[in-house]
Amino acid sequence: MATEDPRSALLDAGERLIAERGVDVPLRDIAAAAGQRNNSAVHYYFDSRSGLLEAIVDRRMNWLEDRRMGLLAQYEDEGAAHEIRTLVAMLAAPILELIYTAQVTHYGRFLEVVRAHPVIADARRLAGADRAAVRIIATRLDAALPQLPPRRRRQRMETMATVMFALIADYERALEAGVRTPVPGRDTAEIIDMIVAMLTVPVREATSGGQVRR
């Protein structure tokens, strides 16, 4: 992979290989995919595997944060910034925009792989000033689901990221395999609808016979 920026090449290669092969892909393979002859290139630029993971996330998240802040301002003006579907759209649509506008083909799969990694899942990552948009959206989503008991609401909020990353990852795979032709507006709406359905489906309670009831 020819590039004038070895660090960017390592980020690209790391994102792709981790998405395809998992977090434990050998760092020397990432270096080789980035066109680096030095097997220690990842350590040179990022200190460690954890440093590489953080750098990959931060590279995309900085853009996503700015995009979501812009959308929050837009929907505030339109009076829709507290609606469930709008809030979900502000989380999911910017990730899909990376596919459509920047040809970022593996980030959804990368997030699916690393979302539970300690470096990424650390709650302190969302506490910083540079992640305010996600916190605002999550707080509003929680408030927009008053019909759910607190425990169920918490469960669904925790599951939302898993569902969102899995849907986007599957979409990336379908595009890469050529079994799906991208139609951005329709495809984004479909993914948002599925996430909203998961959040808002009525609670059903099991009966003694194993049946369920609302």
pLDDT at 131: 81
The token pair that represents 19 in the structure block: 């998405």
For residues 58-71, average pLDDT: 93
Short-list 209, 214, 92, 81, CA closest to 152 = 214
Short-list 10, 13, 136, 126, CA closest to 71 = 136
Alpha-carbon dihedral angle through residues 120, 65, 193, 18, given to the nearest 10 degrees: -40
**Cβ–Cβ < 8 Å for 60, 90:** no
Give tens-digit pLDDT for 104-129.
Answer: 999 999 999 998 888 777 766 665 66
- Give residue 22's pLDDT band: very low, low, confident or very high (50, 70, 90): very high
pLDDT, the chain, mean: 90
17, exposed or middle or buried, with CB in 10 Å at 0-12, 13-18, 19+? buried
For residues 89-109, average pLDDT: 95
For residues 159-183, average pLDDT: 96
- Give residue 2's pLDDT band: very low, low, confident or very high (50, 70, 90): very low
